[in-house]
Amino acid sequence: MIGVLIDDRVKAGKEAINELYNSGHYGRQKGDYLELTLIEAAYLHYKKKLEIQIGDKSLSFEEFFIEASKRQQYFDLKYIVYKDLRERGFYVQPSVTDFRVYPRGGYPGKTPAKFFVHVISERIPLFLRELRMSLEAAHNLHKTMVLAIVDEESDITFYEIRKVDPVGDMETIEHALKNIRVRSTFLEDRVIVWDSNLSKILHTGGFYGQPLDSDRLQLSLVESCYLLKKGVLEVTDMSGISSPLSFNEFAAKAAVIESEFMLKYKVYENLRDRGLIPKTGFKFGSHFRVYQDFKSVDKLPHSAYLVHSIPEDYEFTLPLMSRAVRLANSVRKRMIYAVHDNVQCAYIDIGRIKM
């Protein structure tokens, strides 16, 4: 079988339609010839099913591979992923998202494609905006969005990207503290509740804060800000002479201590309002670990998610994303990125997928 390299396509004659398309779903039929992408052609060359010519000259695999690399950006990356998928039995067709991949047992004409696969090098930053646009497109067409990340040693890791909508069944604490304002002091970078009884209600009833000792409770900045907004907490500063802080005053003070404070806070508030319990995710390198079903502080459930709040113009650094997802999975949690646009909060679940 002979194919001719023209621009960034390889054209093979009529007999290729039967031999390559009908039997292996390579290429696309265009009238009386078969059109192959550079990647398909390289793979068929490697499989010794296709000889590739420029004019009359036949190209070795090396010559074609270099030629293709000149004609298509990231040719080598995409070839590696294509070869991997093909060799593990998937049928693959080109698409605006690099590849449309058919489910196991499926192929063009029989079943719709299941996956939109995007190929990316670990070195290239991934813009959240692009990720969300691709996710939206895949979602609208009922496809699963998959990122195939190729590392510097050409190993591939597949990630499934999903929109999720986490909810929990935690009730609000306000009802337990009707008409009571809990007095507290803003110390260097945390807030202390001094009353023993109210400390207990906040901690055991709402899983707020961490006891300083048997009588006093330490609240984090996001917890304090949330309780202040809900009218439960009254926070004064160390001077003890100013009037209690307003929400805006508190937020401004907190932003000096932690520049990302509002980014975190908006997601904290959204999670709490959804009946979930976010607690610090410091040990996991994320903003929050999140509990879905809370019974009591003595019988804490497993926290199901790690949530990290990111701005709308975020750029993923792939080694860091990889580390975050891997760590989350190693402790049996889902890694979720939260994006708050000041109106609503979107949650994007990124998890490894075996293909």
Residues that bind a second copy in the complex, under the rule CB under 8 A: 46, 61-62, 65-66, 69-70, 73-77, 80, 83, 121-123, 149, 151-155, 157, 185, 187-190, 192, 194, 209-210, 212-213, 216, 218, 220-222, 238, 240, 257-258, 279-286, 318-320, 322-324, 326-327, 330-331
Q: How far apart are CA 347 and CA 126, in angstroms?
A: 17
Q: How far is the CB of 67 from a second copy (least distance, A)?
A: 9
Q: How far is the CB of 149 from a second copy (least distance, A)?
A: 8
Q: Is 245 helix (H, G, I), strand (E, B) or coil?
A: coil
Contact 339, 349 (CB under 8 A): no
Q: Is 126 helix (H, G, I), strand (E, B) or coil?
A: strand
Nearer to a second copy, 89 or 109 (CB): 89
302 is catalytic: yes
Q: How far is CA 85 from CA 52, 208, 212, 351, in A?
A: 23, 48, 54, 19
**Residue 179 CB contacts under 8 Å (≥ 6 apart), including other chains:** none
Nearer to a second copy, 21 or 305 (CB): 305
Q: How far is CA 209 from CA 41, 151, 264, 273, 341, in A?
A: 61, 41, 16, 17, 27
Nearer to a second copy, 283 or 295 (CB): 283
Q: How far is the CB of 22 from a second copy (least distance, A)?
A: 26
Contact 29, 21 (CB under 8 A): yes
Indicate which residue of 333, 337, 340, 347 is catalytic.
333
208 is catalytic: no
118 is catalytic: no
Indicate which residue of 14, 30, 110, 302 is catalytic.
302
Q: How far is the CB of 224 from a second copy (least distance, A)?
A: 10
Just list the catalytic residues.
291, 302, 333
